[in-house]
């Protein structure tokens, strides 16, 4: 079974893990040449949902519900699922400062449910 972890992109990729960037927008301050990752930007939350959420912890539960709805029947999520199944250890990378309230948390939970 695939092991799934999440980590801030600024903290680097742990050795032996397959990195997947799950932000719709490339993280600030990170050069594309400096980061060897699979970037699945379409799996990130829509612009409208991301702006509504604004990383407000009080909105996280509703954000997670809406985000899961966006991912339902999503080709992008199906691609992430395939990418995850192809590796033993996958780390989902994100740029948000909040380590508990972000899309990678939702994606990791959803992947664990589906694998």
pLDDT at residue 34, rounded to an integer: 86
Q: Which segments of the chain does DSSP mark as H helices, in order?
A: 47-53, 60-71, 75-85, 103-114
Verdict on whether the full-model pTM lies above 0.75: yes
Kindly give the confidence (pLDDT) of every residue in the chain, 115 residues in length, as a single tens digit, with 9 standing for 90 and above. 899 999 999 999 999 999 999 999 999 999 988 889 999 999 999 999 999 999 999 999 999 999 999 999 899 999 999 999 999 999 999 999 999 999 999 999 999 999 8
Are 91 and 18 spatial neighbours (Cβ–Cβ below 8 Å)?
Answer: yes
pLDDT of residue 73: 84
- Give the C-alpha separation, 19 to 14, whole Å: 9
CA-CA-CA-CA dihedral for 103, 24, 43, 55, to nearest 10 = 20
Say if residues 16 and 91 touch (Cβ distance below 8 Å).
no
């Amino acid at each position: 079974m695939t092991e799934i972890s999440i980590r801030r992109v600024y903290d680097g990729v742990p050795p032996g893990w397959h990195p997947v960037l799950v932000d719709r927008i490339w993280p600030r301050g990170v050069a594309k040449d400096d980061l060897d990752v699979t970037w699945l930007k379409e799996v990130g939350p829509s612009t409208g949902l991301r702006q509504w959420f604004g990383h407000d912890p009080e909105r996280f539960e509703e954000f997670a519900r809406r985000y899961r709805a966006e991912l339902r029947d999503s080709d992008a999520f199906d691609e992430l699922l395939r990418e995850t199944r192809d590796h033993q250890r996958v780390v989902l990378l994100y740029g948000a400062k909040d380590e508990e309230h972000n899309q990678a948390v939702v994606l990791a939970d959803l992947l664990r449910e589906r694998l």
